[in-house]
Amino acid sequence: MLHPELTLIVAATRNMGIGLNGTLPWTGLKKEMAYFARVTRRVSAQLPTATSNAVIMGRKTWDSIPPKFRPLKGRLNIVVSRSHPSYSSLQKQEEAQVEGPVKVQSLEDALTYLKSASGTGKAFVIGGAQIYDAALKLPATKRVLLTRIQSLDFECDTFFPLELDEQGTNGWVRKSKDELDAWTGETVPEGVQEENGTRYEFQLWERVG
């Protein structure tokens, strides 16, 4: 992938709350989590069978994943942390994957790595707030896959750094259900879903221009 695009994938309340005390403010959204897993793992049938997508995250997000579930299976895991030493060669990066994720110091380093790596498909930024904020400043970020939690009741201390409104006044527009299905490669459940008393909706937003 010569010029990797970044897709931010996030679940957020109506006021864009995404976290509380280092974890999700809500629980029990198994179907929503399964959607996240499917979309971030699914590779286009047109790509070689050895291709895998990348999930890029900050160190705190990595630490928040239960150890038995990390690295996230079937995906190239990239962890951004300033405390990680820089890798001087692609070979060292590939060796690092044997025991854990690829570790880089910035999103720019992650993009550089993806440009050099073989067998990579889509690249997803999965959190947290600082990584999302850094990604939104990069021209490589083209879209946001948003699970809109239809509630303001959840207490949050961490927020997604972008307001997504239907007016499209901030340079982002919501795409149609057909466009969401086409991009994810599946028929996404339409309209408001409900699990464990929490209502939510799957959406796709793209940057204009």
Structure tokens at 33: 């989590």
Whole-Å CA distances, 80 to 19, 26, 195: 19, 25, 32
Residue 98 exposed, middle or buried by CB count within 10 Å (0-12, 13-18, 19+): exposed
Cα–Cα dist 11/149, whole Å: 7
| Ranges assigned E (strand) in the chain | 6-13, 17-19, 52-58, 76-80, 102-104, 120-125, 141-149, 158-159, 172-174, 193-195, 198-207
What is the reported pLDDT for 3?
63
pLDDT for 35-57, tens place per residue?
A: 999 999 999 878 877 789 999 99
Cα–Cα dist 104/40, whole Å: 20
Give residues with Cβ within 8 angstroms of 187, minimum separation 6. 181
Q: Which residue has the higher pLDDT, 182 or 152?
A: 182
pLDDT bracket for residue 116 (50, 70, 90): confident
What is the reported pLDDT for 166?
80
Q: Which residue has the higher pLDDT, 118 or 184?
A: 184
Pick the CATH number of 6-207 from 3.40.430.10, 3.40.50.1370, 3.40.50.300, 1.10.10.60: 3.40.430.10
Four-residue CA torsion sign, 125, 131, 134, 136: positive
What is the reported pLDDT for 93?
46
Give the residue numbers annotated as catalytic, written as ranges.
24, 32
Cα–Cα dist 160/101, whole Å: 24
Q: Which residue has the higher pLDDT, 168 or 119?
A: 119
What is the reported pLDDT for 165?
84
What is the reported pLDDT for 168?
67
**Residue 95, pLDDT above cutoff 80:** no
Cα–Cα dist 65/189, whole Å: 26
Spatial contact of 154 and 21, defined as CB atoms under 8 Å apart:
no
Sequence spans of domains, the chain: 6-207
Residue 125 pairs with which residues in a beta bridge? Answer: 8, 56
- Per the prediction, the chain carries an average pLDDT of 88
Spatial contact of 200 and 148, defined as CB atoms under 8 Å apart:
yes
What is the reported pLDDT for 97?
45
Spatial contact of 123 and 39, defined as CB atoms under 8 Å apart:
no
Classify 87 as helix, strand or coil: coil
Q: What is the DSSP string of 118-168?
A: SSEEEEEE---HHHHHHHHTSTTEEEEEEEEE--S-S--SEE-S----TT-
Cα–Cα dist 30/196, whole Å: 9
